[in-house]
């Protein structure tokens, strides 16, 4: 019986000795798992914070690029407007020059038409003068011929 009591005591002692170790073994993995879980949550939060910072950086870069593009487009619009204004001024100047040239040409044509009319009038006057001279010469010749005829007749009658 002593053996049985020693065995009971040994079993009880072993049970008492291993019970805290077994419960520690059960608690230890949960605390390690909790630490691992906490570590993973911390890493996840860090990754999320890094991703949020990166997204914010990219959003700021996108806004900066959009602002630069807007400024460039505004500059190009202003250049286009300036070129349009310059072209309008040039077209107005060319129109004014064309009108001035047309007015000069009209004045020259009017002057030439007046000269042509004057020349025609001078030529008509000269022709009329020559016609009058021709008529006068013809009248003089006719009167001479008539005078000669009258003399001839009076000479022949004599």
How distant, in Å, are the alpha carbons of 55, 84, 90 from that of 87?
Answer: 47, 5, 5
Two tokens at 5?
């009591």
Segment 4-41, tens digit of pLDDT = 666 656 666 666 666 555 555 555 557 899 999 999 99
From CA 47, how far away is CA 34, in angstroms rounded?
A: 19
Measure CA 11 to chain center: 99
From CA 81, how far away is CA 77, in angstroms rounded?
A: 6
Two tokens at 59?
């959003």
How distant, in Å, are the alpha carbons of 22, 106, 111 from that of 115?
Answer: 136, 14, 6
Segment 75-91, tens digit of pLDDT = 999 999 999 999 999 99
From CA 53, how far away is CA 61, in angstroms rounded?
A: 12
Segment 133-153, tens digit of pLDDT = 999 999 999 999 999 888 888
Question: Does pTM top 0.85 for this prediction?
Answer: no
Which of 128, 154, 131, 125 has the alpha carbon at shortest distance from 139? 131
């Amino acid at each position: 019986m002593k053996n049985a009591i020693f065995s009971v005591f040994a079993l009880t002692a072993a049970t008492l000795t291993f019970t805290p170790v077994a419960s520690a073994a059960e608690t230890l993995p949960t605390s390690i798992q909790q630490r691992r879980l906490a570590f993973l949550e911390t890493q996840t939060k860090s990754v999320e914070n890094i991703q949020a910072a990166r997204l914010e950086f990219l959003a700021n870069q996108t806004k900066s690029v959009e602002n630069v593009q807007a400024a460039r487009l505004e500059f190009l619009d202003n250049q286009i407007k300036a070129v349009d204004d310059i072209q309008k001024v040039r077209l107005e100047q060319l129109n004014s020059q064309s009108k001035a040239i047309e007015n000069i040409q009209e004045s020259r044509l009017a002057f030439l038409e007046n000269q042509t009319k004057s020349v025609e009038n001078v030529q008509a006057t000269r022709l009329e003068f020559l016609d009058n001279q021709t008529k006068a010469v013809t009248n003089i010749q006719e009167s001479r011929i008539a005078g000669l005829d009258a003399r001839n007749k009076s000479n022949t009658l004599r």
